[in-house]
Structure 1
Amino acid sequence: MVRRTVMVAITLALVAAAFVLLCVNIGRGEFAVPIPTVVDILFGGGTKVQRFIVMDLRLPRGLTALLTGIALGISGAITQSILRNPLASPDLLGVTAGASAAAVTLIVVGGGGTFVGALALLGIPLAALAGAVVTALAIYALAWRGGVQGYRVVLIGIGANAMLVAAIQWMLISADINDVARAQVWLNGSLNGSDWAQVWPVAIGVAVVGTLALVSSFTLGALRLGDDNARALGVRLQSGQGVLLLAAVALAGIATAAVGPIGFVALAAPQVAMRILRTPGPPILASGLVGAVLVLGSDVIGRTVLPVELPVGIVTSALGGPFLIYLLVRNNRKVSA
């Protein structure tokens, strides 16, 4: 009972931290807005000018960062739990690279930026989501040998990621310089230009798929115990794995389609959440909240702390690289022991 109370308290603290960072993100800029004023505006107060700055100009960017962080955190938690490998995440397994390859192809070959009407808005995001799903299905098929094993998926995913990154680089080298510039902005994972039309699809996707992941928490917990124990608990192994992996890929694809690839959040968020809550496996809800904190915090650092403004994807990669090294060293010590 005490342990559950502590976990609830920590989860609520993560919710509060995400909300505070959202307010900080909204309040920072050329026209600074104090955090109490931001909170007042969010609940209907403030002047007309303040409401325009907060609600129309800055809130869509903050919500996009919040939602993509939640999506990546939950996606990483599902992937690491099913494959039982702390190094398993969509960006290392090639899923994010598949989304990026599809988007870059549309930009440099199909002229994604020249579509009119609805296609101008939905062309690149839908291409990125389709690329993520197709890549994940290919990796799953290649890793299948009467079942799916974690290390086999990781190895095949790393190989697929390398090939897709090489394909992206080849397209960038051979494409028109204007298309390359547009693709590079997208590939760095930028929140610039986020608006309400971009927020709603992400919000709906995260709400639907995230709810499915939370409902499947028991199945995910059973899968962490191994295939035999999961079957003994009444879990349909292959269908359970398939549905949850599809949810993880969908969340990663939605996040990547919205803002471009944001590295290492899906890798780090579940591990940080697991250590904070001291759970045997990555917790779904807490992982999403930690992901939101990481993306919001990185956006604040990239926009206001550094001498020049940097896309959020560059900041998360700079922070996540050392964490990946830490996980590799830690796993190596476990194997040696």
Structure 2
Amino acid sequence: MSLTRQPKDVRTPSIRTPSIRTLSIRAVESIVPGSALPDAAAAWLRGQRKAQRRRRAGITAVLAAVVLGLLAVNILLGSYTVTISDFLRMLGGEEIPGASFIVMENKLPQAILGLLAGASFGVAGAIFQTMLRNPLASPDIIGISYGASAMAVAAIVLFGIGGVGVSVAALAGALVVALLITGLSRGRGGTGLILVGIGAAAFLQAAVTFLLSRANINNARDAMVWLTGSLNSADWNRVNVLAVALAILLPLSVVGARELRALSLGDDTAAGLGTNVSRARLFLTVLGVLLAALPTAAAGPIAFVAFLSGPIAKRLNRGSASLPLAALTGSAIVLAANFVAVNAIPGTALPVGVVTGALGAPFLLWLLISTNRSNQGA
């Protein structure tokens, strides 16, 4: 009994103090004794933090440059190419016959929508994966994206709704499913929420299949294009709505980053650090759902972007979760996949979700196999 109580007795005092700095200083002092070592240890810690910040800033700058390069590639290259000078002239308002419509009304909104949708999916996935401490806890795995898909397909098939109505239905479906799985998994922890979400996703996928089987050919075709996730129907209205929404939500994610870091240590540790766990979870859950539902409403459920972005960003950041890196990673994935989808088969523009699905499925299998092996090894 004393062995089981000891961690609680030891952990509680360290949580109530600035534990990381204090314990690090004590560790250095115990290795090399001396009265001046606490100051030396503090200086060493400050140097480590500065080096970490410089490395993160460097990775962020490189990844941002990659995203800007992919954005330019999507706009300037492909089946219809345009020079940088011509593009700048079109941005200045000059009309170039043929090119202005293709670039300004087709390629540019597609690229910007892909940029915004990828960033939103990336942050949403990182929020859920970090908060629940499980790489499987992304919106497209735990049923939130399927909730948006089911409601959108129902709007198309049963009521013949299109355009903005489909987007509103998708947003409502994601929110309803998020509330449902959160309520059903209450008291079961992060693993319980994931299991409930996977079950809800399976049920909703069956519902989508049933609706498609009862739809006429035209509605079924429209629903399938939307379900795959595509930027081909992007327009400035969708871009503007998503841009305004992200201008509000992304700053909120910065506000919630502190609570997210605390929750990543576990509920007990977060509570010991002064975090209101219930309030933080509610805030981050609503924020993650909105960040997943809004790009789904604009471009459809682009598969595995939220699932891939967080782990890749975490690997780039040496094991630490980073919402800005997850956003840039999501944008890079969508933009690269969209360029491949549009130009892979001449004369045919594939939905971007086909390419992201092909990338995400092997990663999911690898993750499941590696997790299973590590559990067996333990």
For this structure pair, what is the TM-score category when the shorter chain's length is used for normalisation?
over 0.9
Residue 293 of structure 1 is matched in structure 2 by 332
CA deviation after TM superposition for structure 1 residue 41, in Å: 4.9
Written as runs of structure 1 = structure 2, the 5 A alignment for 1:317-332 is 317-332=357-372
> Higher relative CO (CA 8 A, sep ≥ 6), structure 1 or 2?
1
Amino acid corresponding to residue 79 of structure 1 in structure 2 = F
- 8 Å CA contact 2:125–2:307 kept in 1: the answer is yes
The answer to whether structure 1 residue 125 and structure 2 residue 164 are counterparts is: no
Q: 1:213 to 1:38 in 2, by over 3 A?
A: farther
CA distance in 1, matches of 2:323, 2:86: 29
Q: 1:227 to 1:42 in 2, by over 3 A?
A: farther
The one of 178, 194, 201 equivalent to 1:136 is: 178
CA deviation after TM superposition for structure 1 residue 122, in Å: 1.8
CA deviation after TM superposition for structure 1 residue 44, in Å: 3.8
Q: 1:290 to 1:42 in 2, by over 3 A?
A: farther
- 8 Å CA contact 1:95–1:249 kept in 2: the answer is yes
Mark the structure with the bigger radius of gyration: 2
Residue 196 of structure 2 is matched in structure 1 by 156
Task: Give the secondary structure class of the aligned counterpart of 2:290.
Answer: helix
CA deviation after TM superposition for structure 1 residue 3, in Å: 1.9
CA deviation after TM superposition for structure 1 residue 176, in Å: 1.4
Q: 1:176 to 1:214 in 2, by over 3 A?
A: same
For structure 1, the residue ranges without an aligned partner over 5 or more in a row are 114-120
The one of 199, 212, 215 equivalent to 2:255 is: 215
Residue 199 of structure 1 is matched in structure 2 by 239
The one of 355, 361, 365 equivalent to 1:315 is: 355
CA RMSD of aligned residues (A): 1.7
CA deviation after TM superposition for structure 1 residue 168, in Å: 0.3
CA deviation after TM superposition for structure 1 residue 55, in Å: 2.8
Number of residue pairs the alignment of both structures matches: 326
Residue 16 of structure 2 is matched in structure 1 by none
The answer to whether structure 1 residue 100 and structure 2 residue 149 are counterparts is: yes
For structure 2, the residue ranges without an aligned partner over 5 or more in a row are 1-49
CA deviation after TM superposition for structure 1 residue 38, in Å: 7.0
CA distance in 2, matches of 1:85, 1:288: 18
The answer to whether structure 1 residue 182 and structure 2 residue 222 are counterparts is: yes
CA distance in 2, matches of 1:89, 1:70: 14
- 8 Å CA contact 1:74–1:287 kept in 2: the answer is yes
Amino acid corresponding to residue 75 of structure 2 in structure 1 = I
The answer to whether structure 1 residue 109 and structure 2 residue 158 are counterparts is: yes
- 8 Å CA contact 2:232–2:349 kept in 1: the answer is no
TM-score between both structures, scaled by the size of structure 1: 0.92
Task: Give the secondary structure class of the aligned counterpart of 1:205.
Answer: helix
CA distance in 1, matches of 2:322, 2:55: 14
Q: 1:39 to 1:226 in 2, by over 3 A?
A: farther
Amino acid corresponding to residue 325 of structure 2 in structure 1 = A
Residue 299 of structure 2 is matched in structure 1 by 259
TM-score between both structures, scaled by the size of structure 2: 0.83
- 8 Å CA contact 1:26–1:38 kept in 2: the answer is no
Once the two structures are superposed, what CA deviation does each residue of 1:86-113 show, in whole Å capped at 9, x if it has no partner? 1111011010000000000000001113
CA deviation after TM superposition for structure 1 residue 43, in Å: 6.5
The answer to whether structure 1 residue 19 and structure 2 residue 57 are counterparts is: no
CA deviation after TM superposition for structure 1 residue 196, in Å: 0.6
The answer to whether structure 1 residue 302 and structure 2 residue 351 are counterparts is: no
- 8 Å CA contact 1:23–1:38 kept in 2: the answer is no
Displaced runs of 4 or more, over 3 A: 36-53
Residue 117 of structure 2 is matched in structure 1 by 68
Task: Give the secondary structure class of the aligned counterpart of 1:31.
Answer: coil
CA distance in 1, matches of 2:172, 2:269: 34
The answer to whether structure 1 residue 78 and structure 2 residue 78 are counterparts is: no
Q: 1:276 to 1:306 in 2, by over 3 A?
A: farther
Task: Give the secondary structure class of the aligned counterpart of 1:87.
Answer: coil
- 8 Å CA contact 2:343–2:349 kept in 1: the answer is yes
CA deviation after TM superposition for structure 1 residue 208, in Å: 1.1
CA deviation after TM superposition for structure 1 residue 242, in Å: 0.6
CA distance in 2, matches of 1:41, 1:300: 23
The answer to whether structure 1 residue 57 and structure 2 residue 106 are counterparts is: yes
CA distance in 2, matches of 1:92, 1:41: 44
CA distance in 1, matches of 2:80, 2:219: 33
